[in-house]
Amino acid sequence: MEKALAYALEKRERFLADLIELLKIQSVSADPQRDAEVRRSAQWTADFLAKIGMDNAAVLETGGHPAVYADWLHAPGKPTILIYGHHDVQPEDPIDKWTTPPFDPVISDGYIRGRGTSDDKAQYMTHLFALEALLKTNGTLPCNIKVFIEGEEEGGKGMTHDFVRDNAKMLACDAVAISDTSWMSPTRPSIVYALRGIAYFEINVQGPDRDLHSGVYGGMVQNPLNAVGKLIASFQDADGNILVEGLYDDVVKLTAEERAEFASVQEPEDEIAADLKVPQLWGEAGYTAVERNWGRPSFDVHGIWGGFTGEGSKTVIAAEGGFKISFRLVANQEPEKIAKLVAAHVEKHCPPGVTATTTYLHGGTPVMVPADSAFIQAAADAFEQTFGKRPALVREGASIPITAVFQEALHAPAILVGYGLNEDNIHSPDEKFKVDHFYGGIDCNLRLYEAFAKVKV
Amino acid sequence: MEKALAYALEKRERFLADLIELLKIQSVSADPQRDAEVRRSAQWTADFLAKIGMDNAAVLETGGHPAVYADWLHAPGKPTILIYGHHDVQPEDPIDKWTTPPFDPVISDGYIRGRGTSDDKAQYMTHLFALEALLKTNGTLPCNIKVFIEGEEEGGKGMTHDFVRDNAKMLACDAVAISDTSWMSPTRPSIVYALRGIAYFEINVQGPDRDLHSGVYGGMVQNPLNAVGKLIASFQDADGNILVEGLYDDVVKLTAEERAEFASVQEPEDEIAADLKVPQLWGEAGYTAVERNWGRPSFDVHGIWGGFTGEGSKTVIAAEGGFKISFRLVANQEPEKIAKLVAAHVEKHCPPGVTATTTYLHGGTPVMVPADSAFIQAAADAFEQTFGKRPALVREGASIPITAVFQEALHAPAILVGYGLNEDNIHSPDEKFKVDHFYGGIDCNLRLYEAFAKVKV
């Protein structure tokens, strides 16, 4: 360990040079014009893994953009950790908003600046450089390691999830380590132990078989757009409770410890409201904003349509209208079960005189690794040793869909040990990643593998 | 009277030939390419009025399409009746759906076929031919008559309402006779004594100053589109009652006589539902469909918008959304007063965390001439004598906005003595008007003026 840390310190300049080489590859997976670049970043990563002494390093065909695999499985009786990341990046649009070139990285003011730094090349490379340091100094790793770096997290055909399901044996592991998230703040390291799932629907309301004149028919028929409003309103009460019967049945309640931890990191609510320019935050009564976002189901309408939306007035009763909604889910809600409850709700609450059709568009399972579980505590130990502070154990309101795939297909918890910051501008111009977090991440990973090695599996 | 009726019978062929001449003029007021045609139909009408011996026949400049005026005011002590109609017509689109040429009228199967037959050239010409018959045979009219035929009822700049307000003295009268409506059925003549008004609004809901990700913010903020649904739902309860406080305060209740009359002419509700292909009709509890449409306020959403409406799913919380609504009004509701109540309702019911803005787009006053009033009863007498059956006294759910202008600016009731049928395809291809109703209308008008002459004013 000491030798590996010393190696990592000594090789910092070379690590940074290697990373810059990778960052120059324009692996924009959403842009078919740059398919070859995505393949080039896969090849670069596979070559790197082979070079540092990992076994079976290869570019894998997924049916979409290629992924990368390598392993080192010479620690019998020790846990097997799958290191996951993605070598593809977001498009650089709008290009004219960048102050440095997106694919010609610049180091300034303590940041590595360029597309794909924080999301996710610099982050996954902290693992590969840590592996190099261990293999070059000890010739061995403290636990079994598999590396799986995908190429279409940001775009493409989305074949990787199926690839994971189809190759569950190859990817089998005890836990997945993912560095693709951010800390609560620059002074508050954090580890994400839960992500919300989702169930997404489109609901279409059909009234008469043609548009009607509201003078000639107004008062005689249920107006499909009145019905859209009534249906939307039927999903949530004035206290923010979701009214779908049974929706809360499987919700794992927040513990007092979790609520205290969340409170310790939550940004003041009035500051969030001021930032968003809303009169106040709002949601389910009895919970703070961060509790609602991280630990409770939520209901959102994403789009509504129907009738006349131009300038001025038209007295039409539209034949049909519709809306899209989703429910964010928390452990242990199951999207497929929620889909049934929502369809039943719509059927029950559809106003008389129109018909409503519910289409379940997609679902994602919520993910939670108990905060007191051994892998999470091992990761927290590594963070504390590296950054001098016990990390906050937090959740996220959004999903990282592949974590649910790992949970389902590999039965492996995803340990979200990210080194990014919210200020990193991922998905935006001027993406960046703190140089200190790059080096700190490498050191932390060295300790992480050692801590994971001690977990009984 | 007998002489006038005999004249009208003798001149039938010539009347029809004159009408066809007028119908050939393509006075489509919505089409700027045909402005000259609208002027030509005005000139044709003014020339006709001069020719038959009306005084002061002239084309009037309104600022929009020209109107036509003429008068005959030589019956001191008798009521003054303003005959209103419109010489402009709807566009003929879609032209390929016509089975006869829209502007080259054809007489077949007992119908005059062509654009502007029922709406409104043949209808207003029944009055002008009746005036001709009286003036040519008696040299006199039974009451004072003013004729006002506008040129932009179907399109154009909409200057005519202001023109009426600005020329209230010229148009001053005791009642307005309008033939621009339809009978309940071919065997059920009817006179419309009330029309609904309207108050039309756009409501905009503003949430955060930018679109948000529903994972990152879902549960923390009031979603503007959730709020759109809640606001729409706040306007109407499950029994179809409108929940705007005070909205019903000025509503004139339907009498038992009116409800009985409506019941006698109402189409069976299951047939209307079957025609519209809806599971059932629906509206305010305690009223039949026709009562709700003719005699009660109604609430309709005309358009809704916001967020993501494309294919598939996007997990956005839209910054804003909106909807358009109107309330149909009945006597004695006042649109301006309703506008205040609706704005107050929105303010009161706007969910926390977003702001809602109510814009009053336009209003129209409801119109009602008591069914037992002298002019209505006089018109009913003329109908009964002509068509052999006491007409049903009915209402309409829609507005004829100019009737409200006559009511407000001239303080004159609009007597809606139309000769059209619902099957006339007004505003659609193959517009037509029954030849029998053309001749019957002329005869009926002769009796109408005589009956009006007896009304004490």
CA B443, B449, B453, B454 dihedral sign is: positive
Cis peptide before B102 (omega within 30 of 0): no
Point out the residues of A that are catalytic. 88, 152
Q: Are A191 and B266 in contact (CB under 8 A)?
A: no
B-chain CB neighbours of A243 within 8 Å are none
**Per-residue tokens: B130:** 């009746």
- Looking at the fold, whether B214 and B319 belong to one and the same domain comes out as yes
pLDDT in tens, A337-348: 999 999 999 999
Residue B159: count of CB within 10 angstroms of its CB: 18
Per-residue pLDDT band at B1 (split at 50, 70, 90): confident
- Any residues with CB less than 8 A from the CB of A212 and at least 6 apart, and which? A221, A316, A317, A319, B276
Would you say residue B262 lies in a domain? no
Whether the CB-CB separation of B346 and B204 falls below 8 Å is answered with: no
DSSP code at position A185: B
Phi and psi of A22, rounded to 5°? Answer: -65, -40
Terminus-to-terminus CA distance in chain B, angstroms?
22
Residue A371 DSSP label? T
- Angle at which helices A2-10 and A12-23 cross, to 10°: 60
Residue identified by tokens 């305690």 is B286
Categorize the per-residue pLDDT at A158 as very low, low, confident or very high, splitting at 50, 70 and 90. confident
d(CA A398, CA A415): 16
Q: Is position B100 within any domain?
A: yes
Q: Are residues A158 and A179 in the same domain?
A: yes
d(C-alpha A222, C-alpha B278), whole Å: 9
Q: In the structure, what pLDDT confidence band is assigned to residue B78 with cuts at 50, 70 and 90?
A: very high
Could you count the other beta carbons within 10 Å of the beta carbon of residue A411? 11
**Alpha-carbon distance B359 to B344, whole Å?**
12
A239: domain CATH number? 3.30.70.360
Question: What was the pLDDT predicted at A40?
Answer: 98
Subunit contact B353:A278, Cβ cutoff 8 A = yes
Among B364, B399, B414, which residue terminates a domain?
Answer: B364
Residues of A in contact with B207 (CB under 8 A): 276, 278
pLDDT band, residue B400 (cuts 50/70/90) = confident
B352: nearest CB among A200, A282, A315? A282
Report CB contact under 8 Å: B209, A276.
yes
> Percentage helix, strand, coil, to 5, in chain B?
40, 25, 40
- Percent of chain B exceeding pLDDT 70 equals 100
Is residue A270 situated within a structural domain? no
pLDDT 10s digits, A74-112: 999 999 999 999 999 999 988 999 999 999 999 999 999
Q: For B339-373, what is each residue's pLDDT tens digit?
A: 999 999 999 999 999 999 999 999 999 999 999 89
Q: Is there a contact between B232 and A218 if contact means CB atoms under 8 Å apart?
A: no
Q: Do B314 and A293 touch (CB under 8 A)?
A: no
Secondary structure E strands in B94-183:
106-108, 111-113, 144-150, 175-178
Task: Return the H-helix or E-strand segment holding B70.
Answer: strand B67-72
CB contact under 8 A, A218 and B308: no
Using CB atoms within 10 Å of the CB of residue B43, give its burial: 0 to 12 exposed, 13 to 18 middle, 19+ buried: middle
Q: Are residues A103 and A246 in the same domain?
A: no
Do A350 and A375 lie in one domain? The reply is no
- B198 CB neighbours in chain A (<8 A) are 215, 315
This prediction has a pTM of 0.90
Q: How confident is the model at residue B156 (pLDDT cuts 50, 70, 90)?
A: confident
Looking at the domain assignment, is residue A99 inside a domain?
yes
Number of H helices, E strands in chain A: 15, 18
pLDDT of B172-216, one tens digit each? 999 999 999 999 999 999 999 999 999 999 999 999 999 999 999
Q: Return the closest-CA partner of residue B387 out of B439, B424, B451.
A: B439
- The CB density around residue A108, as the number of other CB atoms within 10 Å, is 11
Closest residue, chain B, to A208 (C-alpha): B276
At B399 the pLDDT is 87
Nearest to A300 among B226, B238, B399 (CB): B226
> Do residue A278 and residue B225 have CB atoms under 8 angstroms apart?
no
Residue B170 lies in a domain: yes
Can you tell me the mean pLDDT for A211-239?
97
The domain total for chain B is 2
- Residue B148 in this model has a pLDDT that exceeds 90: yes
Which chain B residue has the Cα nearest residue A203? B309
φ/ψ of residue B107, rounded to 5 = -105, 120
Contact A318 B309 (CB under 8 A): no
Chain A interface, best mutation among B313, B345, B359, by max A CB count within 10 A: B313
Q: Are residues A93 and A210 in the same domain?
A: no
Pick from A209, A304, A313: which is nearest to B304 by CB? Answer: A304
Nearest CA-CA partner of A325 in A337, A334, A338 = A338
| Alpha-helix runs per DSSP H in A156-210 | 160-166, 168-171
CB nearest A304 (choices: B305, B353, B362): B305
Amino acid at B312: G
Distance from CA of A399 to the nearest CA of B (A): 7
Beta bridge partners of A362: A200
Contact check, Cβ <8 Å, B353/A296: no
Residues B373 and B21: their CA atoms lie apart, in Å, by: 38
Q: Which chain A residues are Cβ-neighbours of B362 within 8 angstroms?
A: 313
| Mean pLDDT of the B65-84 span | 98
- Look up B396 and say whether it is catalytic: no
Mind telling me how many Å the CA of A324 is from chain B's nearest CA?
A: 8
How far is A28 from B256, CA to CA, in rounded Å? 74
Contact B236 A226 (CB under 8 A): yes
For residue B210, the enclosing domain spans 197-251+297-364
Question: Is B275 within 8 Å of B269 (Cβ atoms)?
Answer: no
Predicted local distance difference test score (pLDDT) of residue B384: 98
Is A157 a residue whose pLDDT tops 90? Answer: no
| One domain for residues B158 and B119 | yes
A52: distance to nearest CA of chain B, Å?
38
A280 contacts B302? CB cut-off 8 A: no
Residue B260 lies in a domain: no
Rounded mean pLDDT, A143-153: 97
* Chain B nearest C-alpha distance from A337 (Å): 19
Which member of B217, B307, B328 has the closest CB to residue A214? B328
Helices assigned H by DSSP within A235-317:
256-265, 269-276, 289-295
Average pLDDT over residues A286-304: 98
The shortest C-alpha distance from A321 to chain B (Å) reads 8
Regarding whether A355 and A419 lie in a shared domain, the answer is no
- Do A202 and A81 reside in the same domain of the chain? no
CATH number at residue A131: 3.40.630.10
Residue A372 CB burial class (10 angstroms; 0-12, 13-18, ≥19): exposed
With both helix axes pointing from N to C terminus, report the angle between B122-137 and B2-10 in degrees, rounded to the nearest 10.
120
Last residue of a domain, one of B346, B364, B382: B364
Residues A419 and A406 in one domain: yes
**Structure-token pair, residue B274:** 């079957």
Question: So what's the pLDDT on residue A380?
Answer: 97
Per the CB < 8 Å rule, is A300 touching B276?
A: no
pLDDT over 90 (residue B13)? yes
B189 to A344, A360, B117, B291: CA distances (angstroms): 49, 52, 19, 19
B238 CB neighbours in chain A (<8 A) are 351
Question: Does the pLDDT at position A234 exceed 90?
Answer: yes
Give the model confidence (pLDDT) of A443-455 as tens digits.
999 999 999 999 9
The share of chain A scoring above pLDDT 90, in percent, equals: 95
Mutation pick from A192, A210, A232 vs chain B, by most beta carbons of B within 10 Å, is: A232
Show the tokens assigned to B4.
């006038």
Tokens of B176: 């307005």
B276 vs chain A: nearest CA distance in angstroms?
5
User: What stretches of B103-222 adopt beta strand conformation (E)?
Assistant: 106-108, 111-113, 144-150, 175-178, 190-195, 197-206, 212-213
Q: Which residues contact A73 (CB under 8 A, 6 or more apart)?
A: A55, A80, A144, A145, A146
Mean pLDDT along residues A399-425: 93
Cis? peptide before B352, omega within 30° of 0? no
Q: Are residues A394 and A407 in the same domain?
A: yes
Q: Provide the residue count of chain B.
A: 457
The DSSP call for residue B197 is E
Q: How far is A75 from chain B (nearest CA, A)?
A: 39
Instruction: Find the residue in A nearest to B232 (Cα).
Output: A229
Size of interface A-B (CB pairs under 8 A): 300
How large is the greatest C-alpha to C-alpha distance in chain A, in angstroms? 85
Interface test with B, best of A220, A326, A348 (most B CBs within 10 A): A220
Q: How far is CA A328 from the centre of its chain?
A: 13
Task: Report pLDDT digits (tens) over A33-55.
Answer: 999 999 999 999 999 999 999 99
Q: How many residues does chain A have?
A: 457
Q: SS in 3 state form for A19-82?
A: HHHHHCCCCECCCHHHHHHHHHHHHHHHHHHHHCCCEEEEEECCCCCCEEEEEECCCCCCCEEE
Among residues B313, B329, B364, which one ends one of the domains? Answer: B364
pLDDT of residue A457: 87
Residue A62 maps to a domain? yes
Burial B194-219 (b: 16+ CB within 10 A, else e): bbbbbbbbbbbbbbbeebbebbebbb
CA distances from B203 to A318, B153, B244, B301 (A): 18, 28, 15, 11
**pLDDT at position A195:** 95
Mutate to test the interface with A, among B200, B209, B217 (most CBs of A within 10 A): B217
User: Tens of pLDDT along A115-126?
Assistant: 999 999 999 999
**A309 and B298 in contact by Cβ < 8 A?**
no
Residues A357, A383, single domain; the answer is no
B18, B37, B132, B152: which one is catalytic? B152
Q: Which residues in chain A are contacts of B221 at CB distance < 8 A?
A: 276, 278, 281-283
Q: Do A225 and B304 touch (CB under 8 A)?
A: yes
Between CA A4 and CA A12, with CA A9 as vertex, the angle to 5 degrees is: 120
In a domain, A286, yes or no: no
pLDDT of B401 reads 86
> Which run of H or E residues covers position B341?
helix B335-349
Q: Exposure of A216 by Cβ count < 10 A (0-12 exposed, 13-18 middle, 19+ buried)?
A: middle
Rounded Cα distance, A133 and A214, in Å: 74
How high is the pLDDT of residue A247? Answer: 98
At B88, is the secondary structure helix, strand, or coil?
coil
Chain Cα centroid distance, residue B416: 10
Question: Quick one: pLDDT at residue B457?
Answer: 87
d(CA A361, CA A162): 18
Q: Is A333 exposed, middle or buried (0-12, 13-18, 19+ CB in 10 A)?
A: buried
- pLDDT-based confidence at A331, cuts 50/70/90? very high
Mean pLDDT of chain B: 96
Comparing A22-26, A227-231, A310-314, which segment has the lowest mean pLDDT?
A: A310-314
Interchain pair A353, B280: CB under 8 A: yes
What is the bridge-based pairing of β-strands B55-60 and B432-434? unpaired
Each residue of B420-441: pLDDT tens digit?
Answer: 998 999 989 999 999 999 999 9
What residues in A contact B298, CB-CB < 8 Å?
Answer: 214, 218-219
Nearest-CA residue of chain B relative to A297?
A: B219
Residues of A within 8 A of B354 (CB-CB) are 278-279
B312 to chain A: nearest residue by CA?
A361
One of B18, B71, B88, B153 is an active-site residue; which one?
A: B88
Instruction: Give tens-digit pLDDT for B95-147.
Output: 999 999 999 999 999 999 999 999 999 999 999 999 999 999 999 999 999 99
Inter-chain CB proximity A298 and B323 less than 8 Å = no
Nearest chain A CA: its distance from B316 CA (Å): 6
User: In terms of domains, do A213 and A169 share one?
Assistant: no
CA distance A352 to chain B (A): 7
b/e code A283-318 from CB counts within 10 Å (16+ = b): bbeebbbbbbbbbbbbbbbbbbbbbbbeeebbbbbb
Name the nearest CA neighbour of A82 among A452, A456, A399, A387: A452
Are the beta carbons of B121 and B23 closer than 8 angstroms? yes
* CA distances for A415 relative to A407, A422, B157, angstroms: 11, 19, 68
